[in-house]
Amino acid sequence: MYKKILVIFSIMMISALALSGCATTRNVEGKPIMSSSVNKIINGVTTKKQILQMYGPPLSIKRNILKPAVEIYKYRFRYKKYTHLGDEILTSATRKLTEKLNITFRHNIVIAHSFTTQGNISLKEILKNKNKSNTQ
């Protein structure tokens, strides 16, 4: 009797998954940060105005009360592609890319910057090409 109930339950679960199907969603935050533009940032030379022209407004601005002339601009780009099976019973991020650009200013001049990339580097090339085609 127990085996019969288990078999019926298994068939019902498989049927429910098959009827609900698969879906793909994407979560995109920010704009891709091109390393070629990051290479143009020169500490001690590049101005805040030039950074704003290149990247637009930052995701966040950090200021220190003890050092009012210093501020840090933080730019982020996140891309995740999720594959869902069923009603989100099984969800996994199949492609991920995160880019972070931090720029430190003193008196509106860049004094330091850092750029990091994590995730699928080939995805970065796809997004870079897609970004080029959208701007043309």
Residue 86 maps to a domain? yes
The rounded mean pLDDT for the chain is: 78
Residue 122 maps to a domain? yes
Q: Identify which has the larger pLDDT, 103 or 117.
A: 103
| Overall domain count for the chain | 1
pLDDT of 33-81, one tens digit each? 888 899 999 999 999 999 999 999 999 999 988 999 999 999 999 887 7
Residue 12 maps to a domain? no
In this structure, which amino acid lies at residue 28? V
**Backbone phi and psi for residue 19, each to the nearest 5 degrees, phi listed first:** -70, -30
Structure tokens that stand for 39 in this block: 């290479």
Q: Do residues 82 and 24 touch, judged by C-beta distance below 8 A?
A: yes
pLDDT of 111-133, one tens digit each? 999 999 888 656 556 565 555 55
Residue 38 maps to a domain? yes
